[in-house]
Amino acid sequence: MSILFNEHTRTFHLFNDEISYIMTVLPNEQMGQLYFGRRIHHKEDFSYLLENGYRPMTSYVFEGDRSFSLEHVKQEYGVYGTTDYRRPAVEVLQENGSRLSDFRYQSHTITAGKPKLPGLPATYTENSSEAETLTLLLEDPVTGITLELLYTIFEKGGILARSAKLANHGEKSVHLTTAMSLCMDLPDCDYEWLQFSGAWARERHLKIRKLEQGIQAIDSRRGHSSHEHNPFIVLKRPYTNEFQGEAIGFSLIYSGNFLAQAEVDTHNMTRVLLGISPEGFDWKLEPGEAFQTPEAVMVYSASGLNQMSQTFHKLYQKRLARGYWRDRARPILNNNWEATYFDFTEDKLVKIAAKAKECGVELFVLDDGWFGERSSDHAGLGDWIANPSRLANGITGLAQRIEDLGMKFGLWFEPEMVNKDSNLYRAHPDWILETPGRSASHGRNQFVLDFSRKEIVDCIYEMMAKILREAKVSYIKWDMNRSITECYSSALPADRQGEVFHRYILGVYDLYERLTSEFPHVLFESCASGGGRFDPGMLYYAPQGWASDDSDAIERLKIQYGTTYCYPISSIGSHVSVIPNHQVFRKTPLHTRANVAYFGTFGYELDLNHLTQEEQKEVKEQIAFMKEYRELLQFGNFYRLSSPFDGNITCWMAVNEEQTQAVVGWYRVLCGVNLPYARIRLQGLDPDFCYQDQETGKSYFGDELMNLGLITSDPLSGQVEDPNAGYGDFDSRLFVLKRV
User: Could you tell me which stretch among 121-129, 146-154, 524-532, 726-734 binds ligand DGJ (CB under 6 A)?
Assistant: 524-532
Q: Which stretch binds ligand DGJ (CB under 6 A): 4-12, 396-404, 460-468, 525-533?
A: 525-533
* Number of residue whose CB is nearest ligand DGJ: 368
**How far is residue 99's CA from residue 177's CA, in Å, rounded to a whole number?**
9
**Is 367 an interacting residue with respect to ligand DGJ (CB under 6 A)?**
yes
Q: Which stretch binds ligand DGJ (CB under 6 A): 140-148, 247-255, 467-475, 522-530?
A: 522-530
Q: Any idea which residues carry the catalytic annotation?
A: 479, 549
Nearer to ligand DGJ, 11 or 340 (CB): 340
Coil, strand, or helix at residue 282?
coil
Query: What binding mask, one character per residue, do residues 438-477 give for ligand DGJ by CB under 6 A, x or -?
Result: ----------------------------------------
> Is there binding between residue 203 and ligand DGJ (CB under 6 A)?
no
- DSSP annotation of 494 reads G
Spatial separation of the C-alpha atoms in residues 631 and 619, rounded to whole Å:
19
Sign of the C-alpha dihedral, residues 382, 383, 385, 388?
Answer: negative
CB of 337 to ligand DGJ, least distance (A): 5
Query: How near is the Cβ of 220 to ligand DGJ at its closest, in Å?
Result: 18
Which is closer to ligand DGJ, CB of 338 or CB of 499? 338
Choose between 123 and 551: whose C-beta lies nearer to ligand DGJ: 551
Cα→Cα distances 721→712, 730, 731, Å: 21, 21, 19
CB of residue 530 to ligand DGJ, shortest distance in Å: 4
Q: Smallest distance from the beta carbon of 227 to ligand DGJ, in angstroms?
A: 11
Based on CB atoms, which residue is closest to ligand DGJ, 106 or 445? 445
For position 527 contacting ligand DGJ by CB under 6 A, the verdict is yes
Q: Kindly state whether residue 384 participates in binding ligand DGJ, applying the rule CB under 6 A.
A: no
Q: Is 132 in the site for ligand DGJ (CB under 6 A)?
A: no
Q: Are 226 and 257 in contact (CB under 8 A)?
A: no
Contacts 24+ apart (CB under 8 A), 612-617: 615/590, 616/355, 616/359
Say what the alpha-carbon torsion angle 711, 206, 541, 132 is, to the nearest 10 degrees: 90
The CB-of-374 to ligand DGJ minimum distance in angstroms stands at 9
Nearest to 414 by CA among 406, 422, 404: 422
Binding mask 538-557 for ligand DGJ (x = CB under 6 A): --------x--x--------
The one among 368, 550, 555, 714 contacting ligand DGJ by CB under 6 A? 368
Q: Which is nearer to ligand DGJ, 79 or 508 (CB)?
A: 508
Measured from the CB atom, is 479 or 499 closer to ligand DGJ?
479
Contacts of 19 (CB under 8 A, 6+ apart): 36, 37, 38, 39, 153, 158, 159, 160, 300
Work out whether 529 is an interface residue with ligand DGJ (CB under 6 A).
yes
For residues 281 and 447, which CB has a smaller minimum distance to ligand DGJ in the complex?
447
In the complex with ligand DGJ, which residue's Cβ is closer, 463 or 669? 463
Check: CB of residue 683 under 8 Å from CB of residue 306: yes
Is 499 among the residues that bind ligand DGJ (CB under 6 A)?
no
Query: Distance of CA 253 to CAs 276, 293, 488, 509, 563, Å?
Result: 10, 10, 24, 12, 15
Q: Which residues pair with 275 in a beta bridge?
A: 180, 259
3-state secondary structure of 358: helix
- 77 sits near ligand DGJ (criterion: CB under 6 A): no
Considering the rule CB under 6 A, would residue 604 count as an interface residue with ligand DGJ?
no
Cα angle vertex 569, ends 634, 353, to 5°?
70
Residues 393-412 that bind ligand DGJ (CB under 6 A): 412
Please state the closest distance from residue 461 (CB atom) to ligand DGJ, in A.
Answer: 21
Kindly give, in sequence order, each residue whose CB lies less than 8 Å from that of residue 278, ignoring residues fewer than 6 positions away.
Answer: 91, 177, 178, 180, 259
Peptide bond into 493 cis (omega under 30): no
Per residue, what are the HEC states of 437-492?
CCCCCCECCEEEECCCCHHHHHHHHHHHHHHHHHCCCCEEEECCCCCCCCCCCCCC
Q: Is 228 exposed, middle or buried (0-12, 13-18, 19+ CB in 10 A)?
A: middle
* Site residues (CB under 6 A) for ligand DGJ, limited to 411-430: 412
CB 69 within 8 A of CB 50: no
Minimal distance in Å, beta carbon 513 to ligand DGJ?
23
* 294, 331, 530, 702: which one binds ligand DGJ (CB under 6 A): 530
Cβ 360 to ligand DGJ, closest distance in Å? Answer: 22
Contact 690, 740 (CB under 8 A): yes
Distance CA 119, CA 115 (A): 12
The dihedrals phi and psi of 302, each to the nearest 5 degrees, come to -95, -5
Query: Is 481 one of the binding residues for ligand DGJ (CB under 6 A)?
Result: yes
Q: Answer left, alpha or beta for residue 53, where phi above 0 means left and psi between -120 and 50 means alpha.
A: left
Residue closer to ligand DGJ, measured from CB, 195 or 529: 529
Smallest distance from ligand DGJ to CB 606, Å: 13
Contact call for residue 337 and ligand DGJ (CB under 6 A):
yes
Q: Which is nearer to ligand DGJ, 80 or 413 (CB)?
A: 413
One of 295, 479, 525, 607 touching ligand DGJ (CB under 6 A):
479
Q: Which stretch binds ligand DGJ (CB under 6 A): 221-229, 526-534, 618-626, 654-662?
A: 526-534
Stretch that binds ligand DGJ, among 8-16, 111-119, 256-264, 527-535 (CB under 6 A): 527-535
Cβ–Cβ < 8 Å for 12, 134: yes
Is-contact 399 390, C-beta < 8 A? no
Q: Interface with ligand DGJ by CB under 6 A: which residues?
A: 337, 367-368, 412, 479, 481, 527, 529-530, 546, 549
